[in-house]
Amino acid sequence: MNFLHPVFTILFVFLIIYSFIEVNGNDERGPKAILFAVGAYMIIIVGLRNFVGADYPIYRGMYAEFFPTIDYSQLLDKMLFRKTDLDIEWMYVFLNKMVYSTGLPFQIFTLVSAIITISLKLFSYYKNSAFPVFSILLFMIPAYFIADSGHMRQALGMVFCLISFKFIKERKVWWYLLCLYIAFGFHKSSVVFLPAYWLAVIPMNSTKIFYAIIACVILSPFQVYNLFSGFLNSLNVQDVSNGFNGYINFEAKSSSFMDGLMLVYAYMLIAFDKSACEKVYYYEYMRNIMVFGVCLYFIMRDNPVFSTRLVGGYMSFAPLVIPNIIYSMNSNATKRMLHLFFVVFMIFYYFVFVRYQGVAGRFTPETYQNFLWNN
């Protein structure tokens, strides 16, 4: 039996244990100190990683060899949507150049990237989830490894999509668009999240959610996304190397593991909509965003890249929606049963992840390295 490196396994076990305290305790949100400690730990073990995660060698080479050759005038052209030969997002290059200009090594850039993505995610979980530590557990596998520890551009883009939820709730469209502009500056695929501001306020209920998802499941074999293939391919959803393509195919192909997960999400969204709407502020907004993500997944499920990368901004709301659904249950027995189901599922997912992504991404005891203790 394979395991992730102990630094990840210890974190995983702690999150499971504390999630039981959250769900069964009186103080749902728990002390802030727990989140600060967990966040700092998560930042260190991925921020200071050494040759771990998809695209790490390529990004490290670009940091010292390619990005310094790019002029700020090129970034300005890219920023203002002027024609340019630069084929990588300007905000990501700008962040690289800012860190590189200080003379610091690449591991400091990965640390800065981890600080931005993980701290903003945890802040959003604390503000919007009844069980924030449980939210971290649901986020950890696979997003923590695939995005925050691998596809850093997309992780940075996705976190600004998540943070924009504050302005979706407050109906501040210009601040929302600023978040999306920053997200787009880190990864072009973030533009797919643009409709979220308006999708969030569409009146929905269990029946409408059911029909919307069923319609998208029926449309799935027809590959209707090909009508927009030119636009979708222009978003450069694949990263700079093919580091994780193998297990993307494993998760996203027909009759895949991800299909089952999406069906579970669909059931939760449909079956417990009324109670969640009654008890959780702004649940309808985050629910609508996630419903669209599930629908988008089924429409694109025959394309392993589109179905895993383009839906990322929407599905990053799952760690908010699922804990809030569980929180809304009137019956403590039902609440505990649903929580236990997802804990067991995450344990199962842990071992699936280790066998495929964990080995490919060098997250195992034999391959993981950290600059704090490996030189």
pLDDT in tens, 94-145: 999 999 999 999 999 999 999 999 999 999 999 999 999 999 999 999 899 9
3-state secondary structure of 49: strand
pLDDT at 307 over 80: no
Average pLDDT, integer, range 229-240: 60
What does the block give as tokens for 26?
Answer: 């009186």
Cβ neighbors of 282 (< 8 A, separation 6 or more) are 128, 169
Give the up-direction half-sphere exposure of residue 53: CA atoms within 13 A in the CB hemisphere: 28
- Is the bond preceding residue 105 a cis peptide, omega within 30 degrees? no
Torsion sign over Cα 11, 13, 17, 22: positive
Minimum mean pLDDT among 6-10, 179-183, 259-263: which range?
259-263
pLDDT for 245 equals 47
Taking all residues of the chain, what is their mean pLDDT, rounded to a whole number?
89
pLDDT digits (tens, 9 = 90+) for 263-279: 999 999 999 999 999 99
Q: What is the distance between the alpha carbons of residues 56 and 264, in angstroms, rounded to a whole number?
A: 33
Cβ neighbors of 138 (< 8 A, separation 6 or more) are 318, 319, 322, 323, 342, 346
User: For the chain, how many residues are written?
Assistant: 375
pLDDT for 58 equals 87
pLDDT at 254 over 70: no
Q: What is the distance between the alpha carbons of residues 331 and 333, in angstroms, rounded to a whole number?
A: 5
pLDDT at 228 over 90: no
pLDDT at 304 over 80: no
Q: Are 51 and 369 in contact (CB under 8 A)?
A: yes
Q: Domain spans of the chain? A: 6-360
Instruction: Give the amino acid at 80.
Output: L
The kind and range of the H/E element at 278 are helix 273-279
Confidence of residue 239 (pLDDT cuts 50, 70, 90): low
Of 255, 30, 263, 238, the residue nearest 134 (C-alpha): 30
Q: Which long-range contacts (CB under 8 A, 24 or more apart) does 10-13 make?
A: 11/38, 11/41, 11/42, 11/45, 11/140, 12/137, 12/140, 12/141, 12/346, 12/350
Confidence of residue 256 (pLDDT cuts 50, 70, 90): low
pLDDT for 255 equals 44
Of 73, 49, 292, the residue nearest 152 (C-alpha): 49
